[in-house]
Amino acid sequence: MDIDVRGPRFGAAVTTVVLAAVLVTGSVWLLAWQTLAFALGAAGGVGKSPYGWLFRTAIRPRIGPPTEFEAPEPPRFAQAVGLVFAGVGLVGYAVGPDWLGLAATGAALAAAFLNAAFGYCLGCELFLLIRRVTVRAE
């Protein structure tokens, strides 16, 4: 079943704020929270992430029914990519080197910002590219 495109975009906006706060504060705990949010989104789909739940219960009822839909697989893959970057960032912040935490968190922030501000999902595009290459190889 396809999903409302506004949900992942809302999640990306919240993620942008959280990751920007991580870069400003250097908070390992805040990055751990974001890593958990990515893990839940990757494991269960964006609707199972805390930001998906917030969108579904608090935002969507106030903005009306969706007019645009997308397949759930690309955003779910994007959550997995975010999980990898956040995990690497968490290692960098927790045990070092600090530059690794900054770089990985900054990369995740850039991807989240692109989705939130412009609707361009890097992880989704990577998923679609991999799928095209895999289909051609078969």
Predicted TM-score (pTM) of the model is 0.94
> What is the tally of structural domains in the chain?
1
pLDDT over 90 percentage in the chain? 96
CA-to-CA distance for 87 and 105, rounded, in angstroms?
9
Residue 135's pLDDT is what? 85
Answer whether residue 138 shows pLDDT above 80: no
CA-to-CA distance for 26 and 56, rounded, in angstroms?
30
Residue range 12-33, pLDDT digits in tens: 999 999 999 999 999 999 999 9
Residue 41's pLDDT is what? 97
